[in-house]
Every structure is written in C-alpha cells, then in structure tokens.
Chains A and B, each alone.
Chain A
Amino acid sequence: MGTMMTSSALRVPHEASNFDEVSMQQSLIFADSLKHMFVQDLKNLRTQLYSAAEYFELSYTNDDQNHIVVETLKDYTIKALVNTVDHLGSITYKVNDLLDEKVDEVSGTELRVSSIEQRLRTCQEFINHEGITQQSLVINTPKYHKRYILPVGETMSGTNRTKSKYQGRSLDDEDDWHQFRNAVRATIRETPPSTVSRGHSPSPSPRPPQRSAIFSFTATMPKKELDKRTVSPHRFPLLRSGSLSSRSVTPSSTRPTTPNSSRPTTPNPNPRRRYPSEPRKSASMRLPAERENGKDIEQYPSKSKRLLKALLSRRKSKKDDTLYTYLDEY
C-alpha cells in the first residue's frame, strides 16, 4: 500500500503541449485520485477495525454485560465486512472500467495507426509506380501500316528501326527476285534451241543490250554455278512465283513490297490478289519518283499479268515463248 501511495504521489502533472497529452494527463490524474481515494478508504477501514477490536476487548473484560458486548461486536463485524465488500466491489468495478477504457483507447489508436500505415503504403506504392514509369525506357515507336512504310532512300520522320527493317526486306526480295530470274533462265535454257530461237526471233534488235543490263547478276555468275542451278533438283522453282512475281514486278530499290509468307502460292486466276502491291498502293501515298515514272508503274501490272499468264501456260503447255518474250521485254 505504501509503495503504491509513493508511486502515485510521485506523479506530478506536467505541462501539456497538445490535446492528446492533456487528455492523457487528465486520465492519469483520475486514475491516481481513484487509487488514492480507495487506498485511503481501505487504510481508514483498517485503523477503524483495529480500534474497534481494542474497544470490544476492553469492554468484554471490564463490563459485566458480556453478552451485549459480544452481540454488538458481531453486528459491528458484519457491518464492517459488508462495508468492505461493497468498497472492494466499487473499487474493482472502477478499475475494470478504467482498464476497459484504456483498452478501447489502445484499440482505437491501433486502428488509426493501421489507417496511417495503409495510407503510407498506398503513397509508397504510388511513388514506386511513378518511379518505375519514369525509369522505364519504353519508347513508343510509331507503328505504321505496311503500305505506309516508305522505301529505302526516302526521307522519313519515323525511327530508323522501321527503316532498317524495311531495308532488310527489300534485300530479301531482291535475292528472291534473282533466284526467280535464275530459275526462269535455267528453265528456258533447258528447252530445245529451236524454241529458244523461235522465242528470240520476234524480239526487236535493241533488246539484247537492255536484257544484258538487267540480268547482270546472271552474267556475272560463274558458269559452274549456272550449271549447278540447271541440274538442280528444283527443276521449276516457280511454284513460289505467285508471291515472288508480285515482289519482282516492283523495283526492289524504289517500291516497297510486303512479303506475306502465309499467302497461298498456288496460281490464282484473279490477278488482283496475285499482285497485292499494286492495288494496296493508295494514290495519296505514291512517291514523287513514282509519279515521274508513271508510265513504268502503269506497265508493271500488265507485265505481271503477262508473267502470270506465261507461267500458267508454261505449266500447261510447256511453252516458253510468252515467258521468254516477257523476259526480253523486261
């Protein structure tokens, strides 16, 4: 008891700086007053009980009416016990109430701290997200449709990546075009000389220099390679001519083509589908170089049609006249 009194007496109210500290101080003062009051009451009860015991002891020894003294002592004991029980009940109730109040306050404070933590976590996640967005090197490259990709050599405001990609495609197309020409050449060479001479006869005289200029690849190739190609098992690799012819018609350095591997290679009677570069080209996207050479561009579809017809007739009647004529014209 004395220790509790000392500890409670040592609590001196300090200057409160804000509302929370004031309320905490008030609650502490209330708890101290509660403790002090009930401890003081219990201490007074203790002294009263001791004094009552001494009084009844003296009365029992000195007085003749012992019976009355005993009865009075009994009544006093019962009343003191009941009073003590009431007092302790009141104390325990108040202490329980104070404890529950503190527990509720702590629970409320935990909720507030959890809310602050959640808000801080949300802010942290937002900061992290913004940091990732700032630090990520995602470049939104402009994506154009295939038909809007400018050819090599043209000025383009887009990235170099698309341009280089298209350049690679044009080179591939050129290789395919060379292979195709070599295959056609080999097929023509395999035909009897009478047919070749017959094919050459209708061609005009100034054609040969033009043809030699076009087929420079064939001319520069060694003869061994040419022979190899003539005896290669791919006797007629023109099965891919459905898609290759469309690429070959367009000049590889000036007109872009979109190689589509998923397109069927079987001969298609519809020439529109066989030459996708021509109908897909919109008038607004035509290049100035093409506009200057408008006649050549208009001749490409007709040449392509003739090439297709020649290929079809080649498969049916094995006649190379038309094909050779086309090659001569080209």
Chain B
Amino acid sequence: MARAGGITNAVNVGIAVQADWENREFISHISLNVRRLFDFLVQFEATTKSKLASLNEKLDTLERRLELLEVQVGTASANPSLFAT
C-alpha cells in the first residue's frame, strides 16, 4: 500500500510538474506576444512621430510661404498703380 501510495504521489507530482511546465510555456507565449505587441506599438509610435514631425515641418514651411505670399499680395494691392496700364 505504501509502495502504491508512493507511486501515486510520484505520478501526481510528475503530472503537476508537467502542468506547471505547460502553464509556464503558455505564460511565456503570452508574454512573448505581449512584448511583440509592445514592440509594434513602440515602432508605430516612432513612425507616427516621424510622420507628424515631417508634416509639422511641411506645415511650417507652408505657413511661412503663405505669409510671404500674403505680404506680397498685400503690397501689390496697396499699390494699385502697379496694375495701371
């Protein structure tokens, strides 16, 4: 009986260890995927920041050019003699 109980306990421990290893494998898989997701989010943030920076630069350049055009058009409009033939 004792020998049978010892074998059963050993089997149970083996099963528990195997289940524990399976659980660990599952957790490692989940953590790996979460890390991949985190890496994707970091990469996405970098890409979006770069795009937003270039867009901001373009908008700044465009704003300056528009201001220059506005000043030129204002100067030309203030001098109607330029358009007199």
B69-A113 in contact (CB<8A): yes
A-B contact pairs, 11 of them (CB 8 A): A74-B26, A78-B30, A81-B33, A99-B55, A102-B55, A110-B58, A110-B61, A113-B62, A116-B69, A117-B69, A120-B72
Report the bound CA distance from A84 to B38 in whole Å: 11
Tell me the minimal C-beta distance from A320 to chain B in angstroms. 73
The tally of residues in B whose CB lies under 8 Å from a CB in A reads 25
Across the interface, which residues of B come within 8 angstroms of A95, CB to CB?
A: 44, 48
Across the interface, which residues of B come within 8 angstroms of A103, CB to CB?
A: 51, 54-55, 58
Report the bound CA distance from A120 to B74 in whole Å: 12
Cβ of A85 under 8 Å from chain B: yes
A109-B48 in contact (CB<8A): no
Q: Which 3 A-B residue pairings sit nearest by Cβ, starting from the closest?
A: A106-B58, A99-B51, A92-B44
With A92-B40, A127-B82 given, name 17 new contacts (CB 8 A).
A74-B26, A78-B30, A84-B37, A85-B37, A88-B40, A88-B41, A92-B44, A95-B44, A96-B48, A99-B48, A102-B55, A106-B55, A106-B58, A107-B58, A109-B62, A113-B65, A117-B69
Report the bound CA distance from A123 to B76 in whole Å: 10
Q: Which range holds the interface residue count of chain A?
A: 20 to 34
Across the interface, which residues of A come within 8 angstroms of B82, CB to CB?
A: 127
Report the bound CA distance from A85 to B30 in whole Å: 12
Report the bound CA distance from A306 to B37 in whole Å: 119
Per-position binary interface string of chain B over residues 44-65, scored 1 when its CB falls under 8 Å from any chain A CB and 0 otherwise: 1000100110110011011001
